[in-house]
Amino acid sequence: MNNGELLATLKEKGARIDAVMEKDLAIVESPLLAEIIRHAIFQGGKRIRPLLTLLAASLVGNPPADTQRLAISFEYLHAASLLHDDVIDHATLRRGAKTANTIWGIEPVILAGDYLHAHAMALASEVGGPTAMALIGRATAAMVESEFMQMHNASEILISEEKYFQVLMGKTAALIAAACEAGIAHNQGSAEQRLALRTYGTNLGLAFQIVDDLLDYLGDPAKTGKTVGNDFQEGKMTLPLIKTLARANTEDRETLLALLKATPQERSQKLATAQELMEKYQGFALARAQAEALLAEALSGLTIFGEAPAKEPLTGLAHYVLSRDK
């Protein structure tokens, strides 16, 4: 399955998920709350988390009829986290549109995020029972803790690779892993099968973020919608830079550290220098190799499912993560 076929398949399945959410959200009575939620959920996005729940459930046969309702709880949680993230970050744009907090203010948006979170928990409990609730509870706790780790890391110039991955585990990987494991668990998957999906989801999330880090330096702004080197300009320690600092000689290491202590404008002016050093010490190549290794481990675990049709889009997603250009 090539990227074009994969994205067409995901788009078709995503449209069905949207229809399920439209029907489910009809219960919202407050016009303002409904408007904020619609803005948060139907402003774009590929519905990766609920799609993973459905695909995971399909690995062991036809999923139960209510699996779609369990799946949308993960999209609600994702949307809630984005609403809260934009408030915390004072963000003004998301996916090229004004953020909800810019349009409606902080208080209504925080409450809308809280509503989505509470509704997701109620839905997961109703459909998936204690197993789904436990998975969502652990993922949510990990997401919140990663925000605290990120706040702590922001005060440090040097961040270790271990701390970098700790943040990624909570911020990106935990919810994706929970979405995968909830799907297979809902269709009575075994402990071994659940572990395989947990590993797949975790590694897919980690690799996705590593590729994001690479695109920040190497991507085409016309495709990514972001300025090249934006992470470096903001002084963010992402994997290519962490790998470079670990291998650089004293002189080059001091050059990079001086830039990290400089102003955003100075970092922007010296972006080419930083990129050259990351090329010199294979920061980009080593980060990509780590993403490839994570996805190879993710896919190796799926061999226990034999020739299940749902394996093809799951495999395609892993390859898409590595090859994407935006």
Q: What does the H/E/C string look like for 39-87?
A: HHHCCCCCCHHHHHHHHHHHCCCCCCCCHHHHHHHHHHHHHHHHHHHHH
Q: Are 217 and 284 in contact (CB under 8 A)?
A: yes
What does the alpha-carbon distance between residue 110 and residue 88 come to, in Å, rounded to a whole number?
Answer: 10
Query: What are the residue boundaries of the structural domains of the chain, listed by start?
Result: 3-323
Q: What is the pLDDT of residue 155?
A: 80
H or E stretch at 1: none
pLDDT in tens, 150-198: 988 888 888 999 999 999 999 999 999 999 999 999 999 999 999 999 9
What does the alpha-carbon distance between residue 57 and residue 71 come to, in Å, rounded to a whole number?
Answer: 10
Q: What is the pLDDT of residue 96?
A: 79
Q: What is the pLDDT of residue 179?
A: 98
Q: What is the pLDDT of residue 1?
A: 78
Q: Which CATH class is domain 3-323?
A: mainly alpha
Distances (CA, A) of 140 to 118, 123, 181, 294: 11, 15, 15, 23
Q: What is the pLDDT of residue 44?
A: 81
Q: How far does CA 171 lie from the centroid of its chain?
A: 7
Low-confidence ranges of the chain (pLDDT < 70): none
Radius of gyration for the alpha carbons in the chain, expressed in angstroms and rounded: 20
Q: What is the pLDDT of residue 57?
A: 98
pLDDT in tens, 13-28: 999 999 999 999 999 9
Q: What is the pLDDT of residue 233?
A: 92
**Token pair belonging to 218:** 């190497």
